[in-house]
Chain A
Amino acid sequence: MLRDLQIWLVKSIVAHSPVADLMHTAWAWPIAESVHFLGLCMLIGCIGTFDLRLLGVAKRVPIAAMHRLIPFGILGFVINVSSGVLFVLTEPDQYIYNSSFHIKLLFLAIAGLNAGMFYLSSYRQVFTAQASLNAPLRAKVIAAISLSAWVTVIVAGRLITFYRPGPCSPQDTTWVLQCFPKNQR
């Protein structure tokens, strides 16, 4: 079932990808990668430092003041989703059949749900006057999970290239089946 969905996804993207031609021009792919790395730095520099602040680094900085960096972390995330989508829409088989990419998506989801937990459970608390310098334990746990999840996203992303599926020549008519992940063949 999942296998059928993956094959369907790869086939549909290959058939309709609006960006593949653009991404195959001389420097498009490396430029998109550079943008992806810059977004990574913005995300860690703004969301990661906010997590570190919740964990007790720079304790004299009010948490609410530090939170003003978050929009730039979200901008980094948006930059990375946009550039990341370009890669998947250009070489879908290299990602959709790639276990390291699956792990990356899983930890992206964990980071997202965890951030949602922060705004549901701790946001108001850490923004009140008394608590503004010391985050409650719950917020610290969320911050530690956030940092770990983002670092795992970086590692899984960096490892994608080492888990590329087998021969995937687009010229070969049977390539979709050949491109199936090795460990499931």
Chain B
Amino acid sequence: MNIDPFLIWLESTALSQWVVGSPSLLAFPGILSLHAIGMGFAVGICLALDLRILGVAPGVQIAEMRRFVPIVWVAFWINAISGVLLLIGYPTKALTNPVFYLKLVLIGVGLWLFRRIGRRVFDGTDDGAESPQLQKLAIVSMVCWIGAITAGRFLAYTYSRLTALD
């Protein structure tokens, strides 16, 4: 399937050209900055929860860490929106690169694990920190986030086509 007509249309939209071409710091630089801040909070809190499950900070009641969950979701939506804007800016660069799909899959699995771990530990019935099964999930979660970050960073170095217009 040739998606080039779609890519060319998307790149010619005013929004795409604003994201890429505007000299405003709020355009590309601002969107990238939001994406980095969102990553710090979303992935950071997920990693902190994984560390807690693996036995770090044993005095923290694991169920109480649910208070940080809304922050993870706010940060996630900041990144979903800023990510879509970056995608609108450079659709060809991302959509023709397999690493981009790897990043999306790793984020999907990471979020699924976050919810699954949350269901086990946030209702307070299962302190869970000693459960080997939960600890395995925490380790897989960490691997997913490390992979998603690495895949995201490698997007800048592994693309084969920058735009469909040229």
Q: Is A34 an interface residue (CB 8 A)?
A: yes
Q: How large is the interface on B (under 10, 10 to 19, 20 to 34, 35 or more residues)?
A: 35 or more
Within 8 A of A (CB), among B80-136: none
Bound Cα distance A42, B131 (Å):
23
Bound Cα distance A46, B41 (Å):
10
CB contact under 8 A between A43 and B150, given known A154-B33, A154-B37, A158-B33: no
Whether the Cβ atoms of A69 and B56 lie closer than 8 Å is yes
Within 8 A of A (CB), among B6-58: 25, 29, 32-33, 36-37, 39-41, 43-48, 51-52, 56-58
The main secondary structure of chain A at its interface with chain B is: helix
The stretch from A15-23, A54-62, A169-177 touching chain B is A54-62
Give min CB distance, B94 to chain A, whole Å. Answer: 16
A45 CB contacts on chain B under 8 angstroms: 40-41, 43-48
Whether the Cβ atoms of B56 and A41 lie closer than 8 Å is no
Bound Cα distance A149, B41 (Å):
14
> Please, which residue of chain B has its CB at the minimum distance from the CB of A56?
B67
Bound Cα distance A57, B153 (Å):
31
Q: Other CB < 8 Å A-B pairs besides A45-B46, A52-B68, 20 of them?
A: A34-B154, A38-B146, A41-B39, A41-B40, A41-B44, A41-B47, A42-B47, A48-B40, A48-B45, A49-B68, A60-B64, A62-B60, A64-B59, A65-B57, A68-B58, A68-B59, A69-B51, A157-B36, A158-B36, A159-B25
A-B contacts, 28 listed (Cβ < 8 Å) = A27-B157, A34-B149, A37-B36, A38-B146, A38-B149, A38-B150, A41-B43, A43-B40, A43-B44, A44-B44, A45-B41, A46-B48, A48-B41, A48-B44, A49-B45, A52-B68, A57-B68, A58-B64, A58-B67, A59-B67, A60-B61, A60-B64, A65-B58, A66-B60, A154-B37, A155-B37, A162-B25, A162-B29
